[in-house]
Amino acid sequence: MNNINVKLDEKGVTLLELIISIVVGSIVISMLMSVLVMSLNAKARFDADNAMLNESYYIAEFIQFSVFELGPQQLELKEDSATQTVIHITHLYDITTDDDNVIVKDYSAPNPIIDILILDKTNEQITYNGEVIHSANVFITTGSKIELIPIDNSVCSFGIDEPCEQGILKLTLNITIELSGGGFLSPQEFVTTIII
C-alpha cells in the first residue's frame, strides 16, 4: 500500500471573528427591521387617511346625488341645537306644459316630497331620510356642522323655519374611524359645499 500524505491547510474561524460577524449581522438585520416597521406604519397611516377621505367623499356625494335627484325648490333649517342640526329639502312641484305648451309649475302631487338631512351630534352620525350615510366605524366628531348659507341675504337668510328657494349647503365634518383593535384615529376636518 502506498501511503499518501496530504497536508491540509487547516484554518478555521476564531471565536472573535464569529462574534464580530454575529454583531454586524444583527446590526444589519435591526436596520432592515426598522425600515420595514417604518414603511408598515406609513402604509397604515396612509390607508387610514385614505379611508377618512373616502368616507368624506361618500357622504358629500350621497347628499349631492339625493338632493339633485329630488329636484328641490325649497330648503329649510328646522333645528340647529347643541344636539342636532335638521334640514328639510323639499320638492314642492313638478314642471310641465299647459295646453298652449307654456311651461308651468304643476302642484297636482298630493303632498310635497320632503327629504330630511340630520347631523346627530350626540350619536356622531349623519342621516338622510333616516338612513345613516357612513360606515358604522366612522364617527362625525365634535366641531362638525352642516350650514345653510344664503346666496343672496336680501332674498333669504335661512333663519329657523324660514324656507328659501336656493342656497349653499356647507358640510364641515370632523371624521374619525374606530380601528378593529378598539382605538380611534385622530379626527380630520373635511369641508364640502353643495350649491342647491
1 pLDDT above the threshold of 70 = no
- Per-residue pLDDT at 186: 86
Q: What is the rounded CA–CA span in Å between residue 45 and residue 82?
A: 32
φ/ψ of 179, rounded to 5, equals -80, 160
2 pLDDT above the threshold of 70 = no
8 pLDDT above the threshold of 60 = no
* 48 band by pLDDT with thresholds 50, 70 and 90: confident
- Residue closest to 80 by CA, chosen among 178, 137, 155, 162: 162
145 within 8 A of 139, measured Cβ to Cβ: no
Q: What is the mean pLDDT of residues 33-46?
A: 90
31 or 70, which is more confident?
31
- Residue closest to 139 by CA, chosen among 120, 122, 124: 124
The residue extents of the domains of the chain are: 15-195
C-alpha cell at 87: 334640514
Q: What is the mean pLDDT of residues 132-146?
A: 91
Q: From the centroid of its chain, how far is CA 86?
A: 20
111 within 8 A of 148, measured Cβ to Cβ: no
| End-to-end Cα, the chain, rounded Å | 108
Residue 187 carries which DSSP code? P
pTM: 0.74
